[in-house]
């Protein structure tokens, strides 16, 4: 029986530590601040933004929301980013993805001052992560590393398989596992023999975005299984990529969806915002 990795509990610890650090910063006259930009009326984005605002309140991070209409032009959005880059009480800027069609998301990310790029999506920060000399880690992969650490299973020397190679999850995930001395394989839609590759994984991370994608025959006995996927099943219920009922008896540790990776992403955003506030005030991390 796989031991459940409780993302809610672990994220609460990360947020508690962030709250403590926010308190200490306030004693020095620094209030960590996060600007959250949302464009359009995507309902899922609205939920994510609300959850991020709630986390800010809980941790003691000052937050500002900029909700722009879906007709917002690229120029207007870039003007706002420029304003936030120069705003002294804002240490982190997050632009909620996806942006409405017609807006160039990568140009927007590149316009964010890398020091305020708490998502760590800017090419500068991506490059720093590649080199292994980073201040911010992308929230979801960093949260996954925390979840793996919580199991007590060492990453070093383990066969780690990441399914998915997106810039926001799969690629940085693989890089972070590599930094922890895992032996990493990245799989994607053109991978041949996916099931056999996954079956060799001591640590399997799925970031595909398809319900019931990871089946029992793809999982090694005793593997740590981390499910990043956020999907809706045939009944409209939130679920991950992993066929949980079938995989859970095989895995040594497994994340549920919801309650696994999701809460960690927000907790790591709080951690990054505190780090950004420290760095912008010349305080070492």
Name the minimum Å distance from CB 60 to ligand NAP. Answer: 22
Toward ligand NAP, which CB reaches closer, 109 or 187? 187
Name the minimum Å distance from CB 250 to ligand NAP. Answer: 20
Chain residues binding ligand NAP by CB under 6 A are 140, 163-166, 168-170, 187-191, 194, 207-209, 228-231, 261-262, 265
Name the minimum Å distance from CB 281 to ligand NAP. Answer: 29
Give catalytic status of residue 104 as yes or no: no
What's the token pair of residue 38? 């949302």
Toward ligand NAP, which CB reaches closer, 134 or 213? 213
The residue with tokens 């960590």 is 32
Toward ligand NAP, which CB reaches closer, 80 or 242? 242
* Given the residues 96, 117, 158, 171, the one annotated as active site: 96
Give Dmax over CA atoms of the chain in angstroms. 56
**How would you list the strands of the sheet with 92-95, edge to edge?**
62-68, 33-39, 92-95
Toward ligand NAP, which CB reaches closer, 214 or 276? 214
* Given the residues 52, 116, 158, 220, the one annotated as active site: 52
* Given the residues 15, 116, 119, 227, the one annotated as active site: 119
Q: DSSP for the chain, please give it.
A: -PEEP-HHHHHHHHHHHHHHHHHHHHHTT---EEEEEEES--HHHHHHHHHHHHHHHHHT-EEEEEEE-TT--HHHHHHHHHHHHH-TT--EEEEPSPPPTTS-HHHHHHHS-GGG-TT--SHHHHHHHHHT--S---HHHHHHHHHHHHHT---TT-EEEEE---TTTHHHHHHHHHHTT-EEEEE-TT-SSHHHHHHT-SEEEE----TT-B-GGGS-TT-EEEE---EE-TTS-EE-SB-HHHHTTT-SEE--SSSSHHHHHHHHHHHHHHHHHHHHTT---
Toward ligand NAP, which CB reaches closer, 33 or 229? 229
Give catalytic status of residue 119 as yes or no: yes
Name the minimum Å distance from CB 79 to ligand NAP. Answer: 27
Name the minimum Å distance from CB 236 to ligand NAP. Answer: 15
**Which residues lie closer than 8 Å to 220 by C-beta, 6 or more apart?**
199, 200, 201, 202, 204, 250
Name the minimum Å distance from CB 169 to ligand NAP. Answer: 4
Toward ligand NAP, which CB reaches closer, 29 or 193? 193
Give catalytic status of residue 96 as yes or no: yes
Active-site residue list: 52, 96, 119
């Amino acid at each position: 029986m796989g031991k459940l990795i409780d993302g809610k509990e672990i994220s609460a610890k990360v947020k508690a530590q962030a709250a403590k650090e926010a308190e200490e910063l306030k004693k020095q006259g620094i209030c960590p601040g996060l600007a959250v930009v949302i464009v359009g009326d995507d309902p899922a984005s609205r939920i994510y933004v609300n959850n991020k605002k709630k986390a800010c309140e809980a941790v003691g991070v000052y937050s500002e929301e900029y909700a722009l209409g879906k007709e917002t032009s690229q120029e207007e959005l870039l003007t706002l980013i420029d304003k936030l880059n120069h705003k002294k009480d804002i240490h982190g800027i997050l632009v909620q993805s996806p942006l409405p069609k017609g807006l160039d998301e990568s140009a927007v990310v590149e316009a964010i001052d890398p020091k305020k790029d708490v998502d760590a999506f800017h090419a500068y920060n991506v490059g720093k992560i590649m080199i292994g000399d980073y201040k911010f880690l992308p929230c979801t992969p960093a949260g996954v590393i925390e979840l793996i650490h919580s199991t007590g299973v060492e990453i070093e020397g383990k066969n780690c398989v990441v399914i998915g190679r997106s810039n926001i999850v799969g690629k940085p995930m693989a890089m972070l596992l590599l930094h922890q001395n895992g032996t990493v394989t990245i799989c994607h839609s053109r991978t041949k023999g996916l099931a056999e590759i996954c079956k060799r994984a001591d640590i399997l991370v799925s970031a595909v975005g398809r319900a019931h994608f990871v089946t029992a025959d793809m999982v090694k006995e005793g593997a740590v299984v981390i499910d990043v996927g956020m999907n809706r099943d045939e009944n409209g219920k939130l679920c991950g990529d992993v066929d949980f009922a079938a995989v859970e008896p095989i895995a040594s540790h497994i994340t549920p969806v919801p309650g696994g990776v999701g809460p960690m992403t927000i907790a790591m955003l709080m951690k990054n915002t505190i780090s950004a506030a420290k760095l912008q005030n010349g305080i070492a991390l």
